[in-house]
Amino acid sequence: MAEPTVAAPPAERARARVDLGAVEANCALLKRRLGEAALCAVVKAEGYGHGAVACAKAAQAGGAEWLAVATAREAAELREGKIGGRLLVMGALTPDEVEIALGADADVVAWSSEFLRLAAAKALAVGRTAPVHVKLDTGMGRLGTKDPAEALELLAGAAEHELLQAAGLMTHFATADDSSPAFMNEQLARFAPVAAEAKRALPGIIVHAANSAATLAEPDTHFEMARCGVAIYGLDPFQRDPRDHGLEPALSLESYVAAVKRFEPGESVGYGRTWTAAAATHVGVVPIGYGDGYRRALSNSADVLIRGRRHPLVGTVSMDNITVDLGSATDVVPGEQVTLIGGQGGQRVPAEELARTLGTINYEVTCGLTGRVPRRYDT
């Protein structure tokens, strides 16, 4: 029987498949690493591009006691998605955003007396106490007070105010994913005594510092809770192989072969003619591009998987299409699945591989997938 010339037509031009079972399993693994400390699953930026509401549910199923986001609107969207439980908004908030966050029954982060006054006013407006986590900047250099005494004063002020609740003390590590722990240890040394003093004065607060990298690298950073983001999605915080830590990547990016064309020596493909055929070959056209978040900087520099085999991307990534070299003799036909991130037939193209090519980090790769790519969830 002759080989088919066209495979079964795909349902979609492109999609990101998200394995929610992997998210749940990664959270369960992190919970085991944390022992008695709580797990806060960070689902900001649409769950690092995976989908915030779906991944929040999976994270909670895996044992996450808290969820964290960066913006008030993200908190409101989780509540609109019927997500319960403790929720922390970690970012800077305008007055209107404070009201949205408190209206979503979320905790907020403070580092100034002005913010405490604002939070109290908005707590009165929404009719609930405002739980406040004070942030101590121990070396990240972004949000937070650098003064330990001010941090303790802010916690005391929140505890004494009838419209506020002193809920937590936190910091954030700048270099937990570095090969050298020196600066993380400096930050830890600055934070630990302040945390101990705060707990003596206010035993009910929760102390938290660790991100994914610190959670995996240094148990002394765990305190009472760790805020894990990248690891819950099965991405390696150290930009190597997530399987080194038992993590399971949750996201696969897929498209399909829309056309197969024969190229003769010297024929070119794509904008700018950045690739020409050195010998007779076949080129597959795949309808995905930088409009979907598959970066233009990957032009002539990445592989995709078709029939479980690697094929190099050739030519310039355009907004809606890429082209791949299928070789002089090919069994690939239009309609076949193409995997751009993930595994197929024993081969893998992990997000970490694309990140190294781009000179960036794996979660910029997943966060960059646009809304034009539907997320499809496997449980």
How distant is the alpha carbon of residue 21 from its chain centre? 16
Question: Which of these, 284, 233, 188, 184, lies nearest to 64 by C-alpha position?
Answer: 233
Q: Which residues contact 248 (CB under 8 A, 6 or more apart)?
A: 19, 22, 25, 26, 234, 242
Residues 215 and 228: beta-carbon distance below 8 Å: yes
Active site (annotated) includes residue 44: yes
- Residue entry with tokens 């895996």: 62
CA distances from 62 to 24, 40, 88, 112, 113 (A): 4, 11, 18, 35, 37
Q: Which residues contact 285 (CB under 8 A, 6 or more apart)?
A: 257, 258, 259, 260, 261, 321, 322, 323
Q: Say what the alpha-carbon torsion angle 180, 182, 184, 185 is, to the nearest 10 degrees.
A: 140
User: What letter does residue 134 receive in the DSSP assignment?
Assistant: E
Partners of 304 in beta bridges? 311
Q: Kindly report the backbone phi and psi dihedral angles of residue 41, in degrees, each rounded to the nearest multiple of 5, phi listed first.
A: -90, 125
Active site (annotated) includes residue 271: yes
**Amino acid in position 145:** T
- Residue entry with tokens 């493909």: 269
Q: Kindly report the backbone phi and psi dihedral angles of residue 136, in degrees, each rounded to the nearest multiple of 5, phi listed first.
A: -100, 120
CA distances from 121 to 10, 58, 128, 163, 379 (A): 54, 35, 10, 8, 43
Alpha-carbon dihedral sign for residues 81, 87, 90, 92: positive
Which of 31, 44, 57, 122 does the annotation list as catalytic? 44
Residues 268 and 302: beta-carbon distance below 8 Å: no
- Residue entry with tokens 């900047």: 137
- Which residues are part of the catalytic machinery? 44, 271
